[in-house]
Amino acid sequence: MNQAVLNWIDEMAKMTKPDRIVWIDGSEEERQRLTAEAISTGELLELNQEKLPGCVYHRTAENDVARVEHLTFICTKKKEDAGPTNNWMDPEEAYKKLAGLFDGAMKGRTMYVIPYIMGVPGSPFSKVGIELTDSIYVVLNMRIMTRMGKVALDQLGESAEFVKGLHSKADLNPERRFICHFPQDNTIWSVGSGYGGNVLLGKKCFALRIASYMGQKEGWMAEHMLILGIQDPQGNVSYVAAAFPSACGKTNLAMMIPPETFKGYKVWTVGDDIAWMRVGPDGRLWAINPEAGFFGVAPGTSAKSNPNALATVQKDTIFTNVVLTPEGTVWWEGMGVEPPAEALDWKGNPWTPDSGRVGAHPNSRFTAPARNCPSISPEWENPQGVPISAIIFGGRRAKVAPLVYQSFNWQHGVYVGAAMASETTSAATGAVGVIRRDPMAMLPFCGYNMGDYFAHWLEMGQKIPNPPQIFHVNWFRTNEAGKFIWPGFGENFRAIKWILERCAGQGKAETTAIGYVPTEDAIDLTGLDITKETMHSLLEVDPEAWQNDIANQKEFFTKFDRLPQAIEDELVSLEKRLQG
Sequence length of the chain is 580
Residue type, 511: T
Minimal CA–CA distance to 178: which of 104, 103, 98? 98
CA atoms within 13 A on the CB side of 305: 18
Nearest C-alpha neighbor of 76 from the set 163, 182, 235: 182
451 labeled binding residue: no
Query: Any idea what the Cα angle at residue 416 is, between residues 535 and 400, rounded to 5°?
Result: 40
Q: Tell me how far apart the alpha carbons of residues 395 and 543 are, in angstroms, rounded to a whole number.
A: 19
Q: Is 252 annotated as a binding residue?
A: yes
**Residue 373 marked in a binding site:** no
**Does 396 count as an annotated binding residue?**
yes
Angle at which helices 211-218 and 450-463 pack, to 10 degrees?
50
Q: Strands (DSSP E) along 308-375, which ranges?
A: 318-320, 323-324, 330-331, 343-344, 350-351, 365-369
Angstrom distance (rounded) from CA 67 to CA 194:
10
Is 428 assigned a ligand-binding role in the annotation? Answer: no
429 known ligand binder = no
**246 assigned binding-site residue:** yes
**Residue 382 assigned to a binding site:** no
Whether 248 is a known active-site residue: answer: yes
Is 195 annotated to bind ligand? Answer: yes
Closest residue by Cα to residue 394 from 369, 423, 370, 357: 423
**Does 247 count as an annotated binding residue?**
yes
Residue 204 annotated as part of some ligand binding site: yes
User: Known binder of ligand: residue 526?
Assistant: no
272 a known binding residue? no
CB atoms within 10 A of CB 528: 13
User: Is 409 within any annotated ligand binding site?
Assistant: no
364 annotated binding-site participant: yes
What is the rounded CA–CA span in Å between residue 518 and residue 428? 34
Q: State the catalytic residue, choosing from 55, 180, 248, 373.
A: 248
- List CB contacts of 304: < 8 A, sequence separation 6 or more: 336, 489
Distance CA 271, CA 250 (A): 10
**Annotated binding residues, as ranges?**
67, 195-197, 204, 224, 246-252, 273, 363-365, 396, 489-492
**Annotated binding residues for substrate, as ranges?**
67, 195-197, 246, 363-365
Q: Which residues are catalytic?
A: 248
**Annotated binding residues for Mn(2+), as ranges?**
204, 224, 273
**Annotated binding residues for GTP, as ranges?**
247-252, 365, 396, 489-492
